A = this chain, B = another copy of it.
Amino acid sequence: MSHLWEDVSLTFSQISMFPFFDIAHYLVSVMSMRGQSGAIALAWNNPFVSWFRAMLYCFGGGILSSLLLGEAPTKFLENSTNVLLASSIWYIVFYCPYDIVYKCYRFLPVQLMATGMREMGRTWKITTGITHASSNYTDAWMVLIAVGWARGAGGSVIINLEQSLRGVIRPESNKLLELSHSAKISLLGAILFTLQHTGDLPVPKHTLMFCFTLFIVVISLIMLLTECGSSPLSPLEAMLSRMLFGSRQQLFPGEPQKKLKSSFSGVKEENSSSASSNVENEIRNKKME
């Protein structure tokens, strides 16, 4: 039994990502880009910019981890096969007659399979990032975590940045300040695989890969099926957060945040000419009219 398990996880860890898992990753990425408001109009008006954004969604992890290591962020272009593959997927998703590809993708089993395969690819990305950083640069564990995390979650981070640059994300919405589910999952993975790499986690790499992949695939499929935005890990997260930071929140559980802030801080709110207060002033002025 133990032998069989060993075999399965070893074989599993040797699966090649190219081409099927890569295709699934590009498909899910481009679809999530298409789901954003304005993406389709953009594709009609500025195909080049739309293509560029699609590349950011597909290769964001590679770009971000290159940036963190001081490498050329254009490194992903060296693998022209993958770039062409991603470009073709972008093309058929946006310009296919009668939207066939999009309609097929809306069919649940297809979506489930693509999402599952993409999450599987995430494990590979994280481990590749850690191996690359440790073999070429340094063994500092913090750098390994950062690079692994960037490789796994890079897409979502870079997209947040890009949206913030374009001004889509408003400061009031605090979107930039929230970690997406995939960013959290990737952080967890990066920590685990770094611990395994430095030898603090006495588990063979392929076993960890198998278990972690199973874990994130199951979680993301559950999230997809139940259509709930919050991850199943959020209770755990809340507990951890309360353990580490929450002593005060327990003292005043009922009070709203605003009060907490003002009663505890005593900070001179010098920067009070910030965005939100401006908006408030505007509303007040209007009412006074």
- Using CB atoms and an 8 Å cutoff, list the residues of chain A in contact with chain B: 34-49, 66-74, 77-78, 80, 83, 94-95, 97, 99, 102, 137-138, 140-143, 146-147, 161, 164-171, 173, 176-179, 241, 244-245, 247-249, 257-258, 260-261, 264-275, 277-278, 286, 289
Chain B positions within 8 Å of A42 at CB level: 177
Q: Which of B141, B167, B177 contacts A49 (CB 8 A)?
A: B177
How far apart are the CA atoms of A173 and B167 in the complex, in Å?
Answer: 10
**Least Cβ distance of A132 to chain B in Å?**
12
Contact of A261 among B41, B137, B177, B178 (CB under 8 A): B41
- Give the nearest-CB partner of A38 in chain B: B274
Q: How far is the CB of A122 from chain B (nearest CB, A)?
A: 19
Q: Which applies to chain A's interface (DSSP): helix, strand, loop or mixed?
A: helix
Q: Which of A66, A137, A165 has the most CB of B within 10 A?
A: A165
Q: Chain B nearest CB: distance from A100 CB in Å?
A: 12
Shortest Cβ gap from A232 to chain B (Å): 19
A264 neighbours in B (Cβ, 8 Å): 40, 99
Partner of A165, one of B143, B176, B268: B176
Contact yes or no, B44 A143, CB < 8 A: no
The reply to whether A164 and B166 contact each other, CB–CB distance below 8 Å, is yes
Shortest distance in angstroms between A140's beta carbon and chain B's nearest beta carbon?
Answer: 4
A69-B72 contact, Cβ under 8 Å, with A80-B142, A179-B46: yes
Instruction: List 12 additional contacts besides A48-B179, A99-B265, A166-B176; criterion CB under 8 Å.
Output: A35-B267, A37-B274, A41-B257, A44-B248, A47-B244, A67-B73, A74-B146, A78-B143, A95-B245, A102-B266, A165-B176, A167-B170
Residues of B within 8 A of A260 (CB): 41, 44
